[in-house]
Amino acid sequence: SQTIHQWPATLVQPVGSPLSLECTVEGTSNPNLYWYRQAAGRGLQLLFYSVGIGQISSEVPQNLSASRPQDRQFILSSKKLLLSDSGFYLCAWSVINQPQHFGDGTRLSIL
């Protein structure tokens, strides 16, 4: 069966520090991968999606970037975090015509 792993679960970082959140999927090949952000009490906003290795599309202009170095690995990064980057980050995967399945999320607090 397919599983998705996302870490860390929580992260507290100072303003201006770098960021790296990692997501890996097991049990499927060539999945679509997604990074979402959820502000407190709000719905999910799609940040990035990827349909294959090295293929990244950004949905909104922002301080973050994403990379897909391997088929089932998706990384969310920043060189310098801003206070506005705080939030709950969720990684998800899907295959064609199937629901997206989410990781457990990372709560990121910027101080």
Partner 1 sequence: AQKITQTQPGMFVQEKEAVTLDCTYDTSDPSYGLFWYKQPSSGEMIFLIYQGSYDQQNATEGRYSLNFQKARKSANLVISASQLGDSAMYFCAMRRNQGGSEKLVFGKGTKLTVNP
Q: What's the min distance (Å) between Cβ of 79 and partner 1? A: 26
Residue 14 vs 43, nearer CB to partner 1: 43
Residues that bind partner 1 (CB under 8 A): 32, 34, 42-46, 49-51, 57, 59, 88, 90, 92, 94, 96-97, 99-105, 107
Cβ contacts of 40 within 8 Å, gap of 6 or more: 87, 88
- Distance of alpha carbon 47 from alpha carbon 52, whole angstroms: 16
User: If DSSP states are collapsed to H, E and C, what string results for 43-72?
Assistant: CEEEEEEEEECCEEEECCCCCCEEEEEECC
Looking at the Cβ atoms of 13 and 107, the one nearer to partner 1 is: 107
Q: How far is the CB of 20 from partner 1 (least distance, A)?
A: 20
Two structure tokens written together for 2: 């397919």
Q: How far is the CB of 49 from partner 1 (least distance, A)?
A: 5
